[in-house]
Chains A and B, each alone.
Chain A
Amino acid sequence: MSVEVKNAIKQFGAFTALDRVSLKVESGELVALLGPSGSGKTTLLRMIAGLEFPDNPQESQILFYGEDVTTIPASERKAGFAFQHYALFRHMSVFENIAFGLRVRPKTTRPPEKEIRARVEKLLRLIQMEPLGPRFPSQLSGGQRQRVALARALAVEPKVLLLDEPFGALDAKVRKDLRRWLRQLHDEIHVTTLFVTHDQEEALEVADRVAILRAGRIEQIGTPDEIYDRPASSFVYDFLGNVNLFSGRIKDDSVVIGETAFALTEKSGAEDTDAVAFVRPHDIRVTRSASGQSTLPARVVRCHAAGPLANLELERLDGGGWFTVQLSREQFHELQPRTGETVYVELKTVKVFAESLPINYSI
């Protein structure tokens, strides 16, 4: 266990940023803290860096490799931190920015000038910016600045690398490139890394494990597959997006959506409770005729088949709103749907969350 947070509480006035958060990160792991704004993810990261301190120091703990650092200030924690807006020292060159962490060390532990130069040059090679050492931060692009911020954090050989929205301020293409680069970099140097993001795609693509935060609590933590395939709550399902919501009612062993009843895989024992069924767009089958009993009638509103998958926008005939279906190209060509015609949909994998019940069901 390289980083462990136990039971941390943090409040800013009346706002609760962290509500008894506990988190364990294995050595060498790349973990994403994912959540909407205000969910406490940045506060958690700053707390690990030592820029914020928990409100309950008696009950809470922060451990680096088993060593209690709860009351140790940021300057002695040996964490590397890259800020959302980079926070590069604007009056220093790229080279001096990266060298800063080494130069401010006390004389006894400061490496000699020659070694500092060698280390900085090695880092400049690592971030692929070798010739740009003498430049100033103002003369760099956003992506370059972010890489310098990373190199500066890595220069002090941190026990933990903390990145606050590392790609937040960049445009889409640079973002994708840098994402891939970060993953490669992590595979090369294997430093335990936590990064904050509000972009689910980014978290699922880059991280070994993803922690989803909501209102100061960790809602679920797991590998990207686990999170995507088995969301622990309706919030996680909703937040990860790419999902259709069907509201209905649970009646004993079935869920009723519109006028159609779908059988549940287990008995709920509940009498008539509000419930929401979550269905991913690729877990829906579309047919021309109402073959089985459990099909919903819908009207085709729009179809677009650009790219490897075809998207259908459908409107429920029972007035329950719109939903999206994803078909492979073959399925799409087989079906040949036309705008305005009526089709019948079958829900293949469904997760039902009942608001008043502690248990969740699948169909």
Chain B
Amino acid sequence: MISNKEYFKFYVNHEQRNLRHKVDWNLAEEYSKAGLNLKSRMADRFYRLCKEEKPIILPDEKICFVRTVSNLPDVITEQEKDELGIWDCINNLALDYYGAIDKGLIEMRKTADEYAKRDIDSIIMLSDKYLEEAKRLGRNDIVEVLTQVPRYPARNFREALQFFRILHYAIWLEGYMHNTVGRFDLNLWKYLKKDLEEGTHTKESALELLEDFFLSFNKDSDLYRGIQQGDNGQSMMLGGIDKDGNDVFNLLSELCLEASYNNGLIDPKINLRVNKNTPIERFELATKLTKRGLGFPQYSNDDIVIPALQKLGYDYEDAANYTVAACWEFIIPGNAVDIVNIDGLSYPKCIDIALHSSLKSSANYDKFFNAVKKEIFNEAERICTTWKSGYKLPCPLVNLLMPGADYLKAKYNNYGIHGCGISTGADSLAAIKKYVFEEKRITPDELIDAIDNNFEGYSELLHLLRYEAPKMGNNDDFVDSIAVLLLDTFAESLKGRKNECGGIFRAGTGSAMYYVWMADELGASPDGRRKGEPLGANFSVSLFAKTKGPVSVIASMTKPHFENVINGGPLTLEFHHSVFADDDGISKVAALVRTFILKGGHQLQLNMVNTEKLYDAQKHPENYKNLVVRVWGWSGYFVELDKCYQDHVIARQTYTI
């Protein structure tokens, strides 16, 4: 196992951070004065950074390349940013690394544009520095690898892995992050298969190499510039079917699960495509990884996702090739420049507006729901007409790795919108339906006043709404059918709308970080949620819903018509660590996951948690440096999260034995 090796400890203890330095180049001013176009600026910065980088090769380390420059100076001035309406390079894409690995950069250069050519030359220059360093250190193994890649096609598994690492490193260095790994086992199996056949690798040596490669995803992840550490998009997809319907899962997929288990690190984040024919043994293998407490694998259901993507207009062979962008948003590798997370719609907010404008005047529940529907349509209209892409900073390497399309004029240019707070929304409407309209226990005035006063002076009403009212997660059609209708309404509100690139808008079931942000802008809600309390993350039951257990939750959460809301966004189930204590527990969790898939669930992530440990980690973070939790679509180190995200993980319902 590599976890015993010095270089593994070196990176796990973040010692590479001591080798880094910052550059204080004022490139934006310089480029602006020189009147350089944006692509030229990107290629020039990339060249300078490659020149500045120093090669680091640790003893025994096989897969090299680590960043020594920690910052990327801006290429455009603040003024230009405002004028051009630019936020960043586009992100959350599935690039075709694998085509490049098969071809080699020299071959790619022949058809590349001027800027990508410059980038290729820069990569080769940097790679040659590593080659020289390897020679100096007498590392003939690395010399052999770097003499071949990235110039020429990979000839074996090790070269393919090193090539991938170089491309991934380069693309972060160019400033583009959140790039998903894609269908790793589908694309790289041929290399390993050949090595095994020729006897240059055994299963064991391949595993060790894979562990080394997996470690490389953790070398520079602290340089990610996103919202929370850990949300860096390094998601790997395993399994699933190919375009001919064959099961892709192979020995490499299995070794990936094992390498991830052995390393115990948050990256790469493992995803598994499954379907109704997936054997139970594979779910058991995957559940063993869940037991490791890293919050993955995350499951996606081919039976639901592929037809749903087709319904949105994706060609079958593209739909069958889907992967996830960063967290869980479905995306097609190589040809989709979808912005899968351009905004989120808040069901609770739409309900709150309708509550204040229309509850008193609604003669019955259906009339009130129509008012909610109107607000959902208004919100959809607002989102779809105000959001224009700000991802206008070009990235020559992205262009290079999206064959057949300039990345701003790709085959697919769709925008995805999260649907947030589904359980808060459905529970709120169920309470209104039951208590205001059916039983008439609460008058509209009373409810509105209670909400506006955050239930101050309404303790009996709060108790009724919060603890006694029907809640999603109990297999209760009364409330579950409302959730189904809310999701369908959201999908309907986006239907027929076109974005600025001519693409469509996709409705989803995720929340990303909006479960915290949207709760902040909301008052109390009719489900008994107090002001300031967060919504459930992604597609989950409310934080204070009492349920009988995970079976009822799955029964509730598999009722929606996911073919209408397939932007992505998983059901999350948290299990107490004791559930996994023995093989029997593992096979039961695996059987439950399989049930979710058979019942038509779209996406599922499981967390193994130990609440007592999490509380202790808040008090003594120094003792829990490597404690991992699943946050909203990614795994992160608990003690590095902002407190609101820590508290949310603790508050989620944990299923025990």
Partners in one complex: no
Using a CB–CB distance below 8 Å, which chain A residues touch chain B? none
Using a CB–CB distance below 8 Å, which chain B residues touch chain A? none
